């Protein structure tokens, strides 16, 4: 039975990304017979290079490939506004459900399970080229633009917040550098590194709801004032909760003041019930607070700050995150650039 894909008057271009030469040849042959223009790449890196000279209507990609696999390719396209509107179809085996779920999270339009016949693929392509799918894609683009504009506005609020106080100016950016560096150093993907960078920039957004007389007070806070400032994680989470594209970073905003011994806030979480990135952010936040100038003291030297962080490891800070921070410091030497 022939597929009813509508090519219209314009030849659709499909970019096939697979390290199997036989798979590339098979798909090129069959799809060409169906009226498509087919381009091929043997890994994600080469596919990205090709996007500089071609604009495919669909990318059809395997998952496991050398140099850059399908998951990494999907992530790279997802974070690039130039390519997010290209439908991405995953080819994978039935037992690879976890990777398929992750790629759907990164914006993959569909997946097709290997082994498949060409008619199964044509049904998927027919759906993608249908009018209804294109309308949904346009709506997704519109929502993505709105979310990016909203996020840009919120980041501007963070900069305005820090501009009120010369002693916290640049704090969120420095925390974002440390947090994203720790995530990258621990083996995180480029996408995860960028998400951690965003989480760091927004971790204190809730302070926009804290009174100036408390936020800018140079001396010790009263109990009432401290209870007021302890509300900023909940305020921050509330500000961000309706932006679905950043739901994954809200745990950092909400939980970066939790402690390993359960004496933190706002929930009193303890140990490894505290989200990992929130535990990392707590270390980054502590380091920057110690090494930054305050009205009542000068910022501490790097080595002294590390001593205090070591003392807090266990009751306050996550020991594994403290070790990771030490290792990251040895490699990146933050004392040479963070407060210059």
The CATH number covering residue 88 comes to 3.40.50.2300
Q: Which residue has the higher pLDDT, 158 or 175?
A: 175
> What whole-number distance in Å separates Cα of residue 240 and Cα of residue 246?
8
pLDDT tier at 174, thresholds 50, 70, 90: very high
> What whole-number distance in Å separates Cα of residue 218 and Cα of residue 232?
18
**Number of folded domains that form the chain:** 2
Nearest to 317 by CA among 306, 327, 328, 303: 306
Instruction: Verify that 84 and 216 share a domain, yes or no.
Output: no
Whether omega for the bond prior to residue 266 falls within 30 degrees of 0, making it cis, is yes
pLDDT over 50 at 4, yes or no:
no
Instruction: Verify that 157 and 113 share a domain, yes or no.
Output: no
Give the pLDDT confidence score for residue 137 in this predicted structure. Answer: 61
Instruction: Verify that 159 and 93 share a domain, yes or no.
Output: no
Mean pLDDT of the chain: 86
Instruction: Verify that 161 and 295 share a domain, yes or no.
Output: yes
Instruction: Verify that 266 and 118 share a domain, yes or no.
Output: no
pLDDT tier at 2, thresholds 50, 70, 90: very low
Instruction: Verify that 280 and 331 share a domain, yes or no.
Output: yes
Residue 146 lies in a domain: no
pLDDT tier at 66, thresholds 50, 70, 90: very high
- In DSSP terms, 60 is beta-bridged to 16, 89
Instruction: Verify that 212 and 293 share a domain, yes or no.
Output: yes
Residue 6 lies in a domain: no
Nearest to 180 by CA among 83, 43, 188: 188
Residue 250 burial (10 A CB sphere; 0-12, 13-18, 19+): buried
Helix, strand, or coil (residue 112)? strand
Give the pLDDT confidence score for residue 300 in this predicted structure. Answer: 94
Give the pLDDT confidence score for residue 5 in this predicted structure. Answer: 40
Q: How many residues does the chain have?
A: 340
Please give the structure tokens belonging to residue 47: 């596919």
CATH number at residue 277: 1.10.3210.10
Beta strand segments in the chain, E: 13-17, 37-41, 58-62, 88-93, 110-114
Instruction: Verify that 162 and 284 share a domain, yes or no.
Output: yes
Listed as own residue / partner, the contacts of 154-158 with beta carbons closer than 8 Å and 24 or more positions apart are 154/202, 154/205, 154/239, 154/240, 154/243, 155/201, 155/202, 157/205, 157/208, 158/201, 158/202, 158/204, 158/205, 158/208
| Contact criterion met (CB below 8 Å) for 24 and 16 | yes
Domain that holds residue 28: 13-129
Instruction: Verify that 183 and 261 share a domain, yes or no.
Output: yes
SS (H, E, C) 20-80: CHHHHHHHHHHHHHCCCEEEEECCHHHHHHHCCCCCCCEEEEECCCCCCCHHHHHHHHHCC
| Contact criterion met (CB below 8 Å) for 211 and 228 | yes
Residue 134 lies in a domain: no
Could you tell me the maximum CA-CA distance found in the chain, to the nearest angstrom? 79
High-pLDDT (> 90) share of the chain, %: 53
Sign of CA dihedral 21, 25, 28, 34: negative
Residue 296 lies in a domain: yes
Which residues, at least 6 apart from 91, have a Cβ–Cβ distance to it below 8 Å?
18, 60, 61, 62, 63, 70, 111, 112, 114, 116
Residue-by-residue DSSP string for 81-103: TTTTTS-EEEEEETT-HHHHHHH
The reply to whether the predicted model has a pTM over 0.75 is no
pLDDT over 70 at 105, yes or no:
yes
Residue 143 lies in a domain: no
Residue 233 lies in a domain: yes
Residue 169 lies in a domain: yes
Give the pLDDT confidence score for residue 9 in this predicted structure. Answer: 39
Tens digits of residue pLDDT in 193-221: 988 999 999 999 999 888 888 888 878 88
> What whole-number distance in Å separates Cα of residue 238 and Cα of residue 234?
6
Residue 141 lies in a domain: no
pLDDT over 90 at 29, yes or no:
yes
Tens digits of residue pLDDT in 256-304: 999 999 999 999 999 999 999 999 999 999 999 999 987 767 889 999 9
Tens digits of residue pLDDT in 297-327: 788 999 999 999 999 999 999 999 999 999 9
Which residues, at least 6 apart from 95, have a Cβ–Cβ distance to it below 8 Å?
none
Please give the structure tokens belonging to residue 328: 């990251």
CA atoms in the 13 A half-sphere facing the CB of 217: 13
> What whole-number distance in Å separates Cα of residue 267 and Cα of residue 258?
7
């Amino acid at each position: 039975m022939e597929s009813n894909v509508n090519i219209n008057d314009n030849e659709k271009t499909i970019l096939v990304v697979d390290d199997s030469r036989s798979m590339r040849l098979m798909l090129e042959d069959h799809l060409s017979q169906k009226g498509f223009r087919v381009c091929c790449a043997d890994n994600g890196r080469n596919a990205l290079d090709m996007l500089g000279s071609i604009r495919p209507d669909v990318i059809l990609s395997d998952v496991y490939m050398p140099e850059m696999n399908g998951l990494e390719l999907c992530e790279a396209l997802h974070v690039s506004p130039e390519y997010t509107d290209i439908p991405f179809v995953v080819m994978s085996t039935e037992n690879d459900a976890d990777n398929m779920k992750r790629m759907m999270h990164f914006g993959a339009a569909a997946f097709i399970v290997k082994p498949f016949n060409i008619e199964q693929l044509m049904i998927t392509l027919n759906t993608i080229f249908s009018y209804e799918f294109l309308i949904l894609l346009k709506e997704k683009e519109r929502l993505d633009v709105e979310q990016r504009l909203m996020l840009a506005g919120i980041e501007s609020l963070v900069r305005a917040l820090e501009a009120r106080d010369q002693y916290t100016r640049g704090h969120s950016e420095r925390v974002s550098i440390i947090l994203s560096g720790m995530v990258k150093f621990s083996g995180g993907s480029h996408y995860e590194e960028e998400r951690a960078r965003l989480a760091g920039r927004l971790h204190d957004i809730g302070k926009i709801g804290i009174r100036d007389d408390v936020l800018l007070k140079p001396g010790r806070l009263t109990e009432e004032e401290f209870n007021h400032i302890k509300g900023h994680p909940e305020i921050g989470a509330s500000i961000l909760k309706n932006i679905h594209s950043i739901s994954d970073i809200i745990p950092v905003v909400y939980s970066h003041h939790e402690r390993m011994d359960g004496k933190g806030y706002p929930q009193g979480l303890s140990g490894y019930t505290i989200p990992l990135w929130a535990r990392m952010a707590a270390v980054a936040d502590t380091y920057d607070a110690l090494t930054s100038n305050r009205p009542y003291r000068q910022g501490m030297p790097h080595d002294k700050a590390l001593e205090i962080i070591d003392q807090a490891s266990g009751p306050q800070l996550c020991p594994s995150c403290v070790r990771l921070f030490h290792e990251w410091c040895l490699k990146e030497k933050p004392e040479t650039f963070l407060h210059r």
